[in-house]
Amino acid sequence: MTTPILSIRNLTVDIPTRHGILRPVNGVSYDIAAGEILGVVGESGAGKSMAGNAVIGLLNPPAHIASGEILLNGQRIDNLRRDDLRKLRGKEIGMVFQDPLTSLNPLLKIGDQLAETMLAHLDISQAEARKRAIAALEEVGIPGAAQRVDSYPHEFSGGMRQRVVIALALCAEPSLIIADEPTTALDVSVQAQIIALLKRLCRDRGTAVMLITHDMGVIAEAADRVAVMYAGQLAELGPVREVLAAPVHPYTDGLMGSTPLASRGKDRLHQIPGAMPRLDSLPTGCAFHPRCPLAQDDCRADPGPRIEDGAGRAACFHPIQREEVA
């Protein structure tokens, strides 16, 4: 088998506080292959973005990686020095944030920002950088790229700014893109365009993509596999068609039942009772058991099994029994 672009092994992130240690990411493991989009989904506070920030080295102190390993193209990166990790960002890992205005300097022209990134990571001239900047804008679908390269961020619409951010993430030709809620602030038609763009770039370039979102519709449309997180842990991991059509973990089943598509023909959307627990007041045993309709005594006493890549789809003592999905 070929080496995954990204391999996360038993990743744990701790945040020391006066009242104890909070653990927003707890023993998470998954791989992303070249040309694959892995959707990471869950409610707010599930640990999705924190895992992405750990990969790219953007944890805000005192948050830190307490244990586990992160490998990029087979090389461990979680133990790199800050300066070495900074060189890696942009060159090997690109980032697409939810709000493009936080990623773009409002005082610099778009072309200058693209060129600056390329000159920092690639051995090319200023003229070549400008040429590649125009090509990058054309690749992400910016009309009139040769003219718009000299525009400022405020001269673009929200959807066009997000395309520019994607071009910025890709311009140094990274092998991994981390896209954190890249479509949340956009209307539905623009969301579809951005998803199609990510899928095309992933297919054409062989780039691996970690797509972080709370939107199951985005996952269904864009991802090849899906990782469902709950209270910092991986609840379910598998091919997106199988997981969405026949979820095995009760939490995934609840998420799917709460979407309009899954509830079509019913009078009301399904609602998971209760709320995700706070990190400083996690229940004993499985974190989901207070909200789970299938919880039994062992769920209340033991944290339950952990998902290891390729060994089981759900971290659950009592998974939903279903027939195999073809």
pLDDT tens digits, 65-85: 999 999 999 999 999 998 888
CA dist 193 and 161 (Å) reads 13
CA dist 235 and 170 (Å) reads 31
Tens of pLDDT along 130-153? 999 999 999 999 999 999 999 999
CA dist 173 and 208 (Å) reads 11
Percent of the chain at pLDDT above 70? Answer: 94
H or E element: which one contains 221?
helix 216-222
pLDDT band at 32 (very low <50, low <70, confident <90, very high): very high
- The total of other beta-carbon atoms located within 10 Å of residue 1's CB is 5
Q: What is the pLDDT of residue 130?
A: 96
- Inter-CA distances, 250 with 65, 293, 295, 324, Å: 29, 8, 9, 17
pLDDT at 322 over 70: no
pTM metric for this prediction: 0.91
Q: What is the pLDDT of residue 326?
A: 40
pLDDT at 200 over 60: yes
Could you state, in order of their start, the residue ranges of all structural domains in the chain?
Answer: 99-173
Where is pLDDT greater, at 130 or 203? Answer: 130
As given in the structure block, the two tokens for residue 227 are 């990782």
CA dist 107 and 95 (Å) reads 20
Tens of pLDDT along 277-308? 999 999 999 999 999 999 999 999 998 888 87
Q: What is the pLDDT of residue 210?
A: 96
The answer to whether 292 and 247 have CB atoms below 8 angstroms apart is no
The dihedral over CA atoms of 227, 238, 191, 230, expressed in degrees to the nearest 10, equals -30
CA dist 265 and 237 (Å) reads 28
Tens of pLDDT along 116-129? 999 999 999 999 99
pLDDT at 183 over 90: no
Range of lowest pLDDT (7-11, 155-159, 269-273): 269-273
